[in-house]
Amino acid sequence: MILWSPTAIDLEKLYQSWAKSVAYPARLRYSETMRVLGIETSCDETAAAIVDDDRRVLSNVVLSQLDDHRPFGGVVPEIAARAHLTHLDGIIEKALTDADIGFEGLDAVAATTGPGLIGGVMVGAITAKAIALARGLPFVAVNHLEGHALTARLTNAVEFPYLLLLVSGGHCQLLAVEGVGRYTRYGTTVDDAVGEAFDKTAKLLGLGFPGGPAVERAATQASNPKAFDLPRPMAGKPHCDFSFSGLKSAVRRHCDALQPRSDGTYAPEDVQNLAAGFQQAAADVLADRTRRAADRFIKDYGSGVLVVAGGVAANQTLRVALENAANDAGMGFAAPPPGLCTDNGAMIAWAGLERFRLGRQDPLDFKARPRWPLDDPSLAVDDTIEGASI
Ligand code: ADP
Ligand code: MG
């Protein structure tokens, strides 16, 4: 097997030294309508999109690599990086064609530069830098989590500050969002992310990969969602942290106690009831922790909106539980449409646009980062620039 990452790292190093030695001709052009291309390659979606500052998604192309990873029951980083390399150029071309513009119609190019699987992140970041250099466009480095965090401003025009529940395959956090790049973390998971728990539950139940949508589908067919007793870890605690490993283990214990059929699978009724029980337990703890965070948010900021974002936010049961939590706390509620909750290029284009219109662009030697927390102070953007905010 040919290993891809070492080559990519060498390539990145070579590129870094070269990028430092060339003049960067990017212009800072504010045309009448600002359009930004966004590139997302941090996990197993190869995605590109173009958005404008009137909150229009001019194109949004997402190529899922699910079929490439399904035989392995999870995302294989080397396969993901190579697939991004194969498909990204065509995906960008389609994003431009769908939006009916050329590179000259863009004001900036943004790409996820972390956190994520580093091989894939490098493919997207290097491609965006190459476009920026070749076309004289500003390059904007985007934190993938900030892409999720700001999507509700694209889809629902939510204003700062707001309370954010970010729930995805790798993250489960509650944050106060004060502005672009300004986040205060209220709570996080002490072990697994909730998306990981959905994926693991699906695997235990034989529902396949990816787990979240499969668990949700099975749960809708449940005859008795209360058939299995499942815990609500952290419920009622005074802080805003989460824990999902105990819930995952409880699902495993119930599976171990079930009698598999001759083909090794469980009876559909058990699978559906356990899926529904797990989903309800996850929704209950997320709503409980969010209620706690809402109390703190209201103390800190008076009132505001609860925003839910990230792949798990596509789940309908969860959306209902969180909307109820927001209503109880006297807060508004906003959730992007499911297609913009899971990874996509529009969220990266929008976060890039938000940063760029505040005067922010990044150097071509900006490094790809496997880890990059959202409350990193270096993300902060000065939004006091006159005329910067829209
Ligand atoms: P990442 O963590 O890579 O940024 P995403 O934001 O795309 O990933 O979220 C992917 C996660 O969301 C996976 O764990 C997946 O199982 C979960 N997910 C997607 N759709 C649903 C759903 N309808 N219900 C629950 N979980 C979901
Ligand atoms: Mg994501």
Distance 238 CA to ligand 1 centre (A): 27
Pairing, β 162-167 against β 139-143? unpaired
Write down the pLDDT at residue 161. 97
pLDDT at 324: 98
Looking at residue 378, the DSSP 8-state letter turns out to be G
Q: For ligand 1, atom 21, which residue shows the shortest CA distance? A: 212
For residue 64, which ligand has an atom nearest its CA? 1
pLDDT at position 75: 85
Predicted pLDDT of residue 201: 97
Full DSSP string of 92-125: HHHHHHHHT--GGG-SEEEEEEESS-HHHHHHHH
169 C-alpha vs ligand 2 centroid, how far in Å? Answer: 7
Which residues line ion ligand 2, judged by CB < 5 Å? 168, 343
User: Number of C-alpha atoms within 13 angstroms, CB side, residue 312?
Assistant: 26
Distance from C-alpha of 171 to C-alpha of 20, rounded to nearest angstrom: 34
What pLDDT, on a 0 to 100 scale, did the predictor assign at position 1?
40
- Nearest atom, ligand 1, residue 310 CA: 6
Q: Give start-end residues of each CATH 3.30.420.40 domain in the chain.
A: 22-153+341-379, 161-335
Question: Ligand 1 mean position to 213 CA, how many Å?
Answer: 8
**Which-ligand-closest: CA of 147?**
2
**Predicted pLDDT of residue 384:** 60
**What separation in Å is there between the alpha carbon of 212 and the centre of ligand 1?**
6
Side chain identity, residue 217:
R
What is the DSSP code string of 20-70?
Answer: HHS---------SS-EEEEEE-SSSEEEEEEEETTS-EEEEEEEE-HHHHG
Centre of ligand 2 from the C-alpha of residue 235, in Å: 25
Pocket test for ligand 1, best of 165, 342, 371 (most atoms within 8 A of CB): 342
- Cβ partners under 8 Å of residue 202, min gap 6: 208, 209, 210, 211, 212, 214, 215, 275
What is the C-alpha to C-alpha distance for residues 113 and 127, in angstroms, rounded to an integer? 11
* pLDDT on residue 72: 85
Give the span between the Cα atoms of 361 and 365, in whole angstroms: 12
312 C-alpha to ligand 1 centroid (Å): 4
Residue whose CA lies nearest to ligand 1 atom number 1: 169
Q: How far is the CA of 168 from the centre of ligand 1 (A)?
A: 5
Q: Give me the phi and psi of 162, to 5 degrees please.
A: -145, 160
Q: What is the pLDDT of residue 28?
A: 52
Q: From 118, 167, 168, give the residue whose CB has the most ligand 1 atoms within 8 Å, as the site to mutate.
A: 168
Q: Tally Cβ neighbours within 10 Å of residue 259.
A: 7
Nearest to 240 by CA among 273, 168, 307, 289: 289
User: Which amino acids bring their CB within 6 angstroms of ligand 1?
Assistant: 43, 168-170, 195, 198-199, 210-213, 216, 310-312, 314-315, 342-343
- Angle between helix axes 77-99 and 5-21 (nearest 10 degrees) is 50
| Span 22-153+341-379 CATH architecture | 2-Layer Sandwich (3.30)
Nearest CA residue ID for atom 2, ligand 1: 169
**Tell me, which fold does domain 161-335 have in CATH?**
Nucleotidyltransferase; domain 5 (3.30.420)
Tell me which DSSP letter residue 169 carries.
Answer: S
Q: What angle do CA 331, 189, 117 make, to 5 degrees?
A: 110
User: Which parts of the chain sit beneath pLDDT 50?
Assistant: 1-6, 21, 23-25, 27, 386-390
